[in-house]
Each structure stands twice: as C-alpha cells, then as structure tokens.
Amino acid sequence: MTESEFLTVSDAIFRQIEIALDEVDFDVDTLCTGNVLEIEFEDASKVIVNRHAANQEIWLAARSGGYHYRLVDGQWRNTRGEGELFNDVAAAISAHAGEAFVFD
C-alpha cells in the first residue's frame, strides 16, 4: 500500500472510531489532530490512537499499555501478539469509561 493509501485508510479508521463514540451515552471527548486521535474520558484519562505512516502501522496507547497494529489479510493485527485493532480499542474504551463499548 502506498503512503497515500495508508493515510486514506487510517483517516477512515479515525472516523469510524469517532462516529461510534458519538453514538454512546457516556461522557467522552475526541480530538483528532494530524496523525493522532485522542479520546478523553470524564476522569481525564485518555486513549490515544495514532498512525505511523513510515511503518504503515496504527498505534494504540491506553492504561493497559501500548500496542502496534499492521494490516494483515484485511485485519489490523497486533504486531507483538494476539489482538485486533477494533477489539482492542473497544476494550480500552470500556476500561477507561467503566461501561461496555463495542463497534457495530
């Protein structure tokens, strides 16, 4: 995938996360600036999703740790173990919000 294609795909991922968060009832704020999507919760904790174009990876930072994801067979897979980006983002949001969150 070219860098341009990666940026287009990662923009869509950021939008998908923001749209899903707009549909929930708990208090969460999102801020997307450049390569970073910050998700801030009531207690001021954050989940941060950012793109690393040089490696064509999406990175996730949360209380549970930091994770890197690369597109493999149509899924964003954790590069250091088990896990899929959207499942792991949902788990991080649930942990920070104290409420269940899933992507439709």
Is 28 in contact with 19 (CB distance < 8 Å)?
no
pLDDT in tens, 2-16: 999 999 999 999 999
* Amino acid 88: pLDDT: 96
* Amino acid 27: pLDDT: 87
Q: Judge whether residue 40 has pLDDT over 90.
A: yes
* Amino acid 97: pLDDT: 93
Average pLDDT score over residue span 18-23: 93
In angstroms, the CA 95 to CA 35 distance is 23
pTM, to two decimals: 0.93
The Cα diameter of the chain in Å comes to 39
Strands (E), 6-102: 28-33, 36-41, 46-52, 57-62, 65-72, 75-78
**b (16+ CB within 10 A) / e for 80-98:** eeeeebbebbbbbbebbbe
pLDDT in tens, 51-102: 999 999 999 999 999 999 999 999 999 999 889 999 999 999 999 999 999 9
Between these two residues, 60 and 34, which has the higher pLDDT value?
A: 60
* Amino acid 25: pLDDT: 83
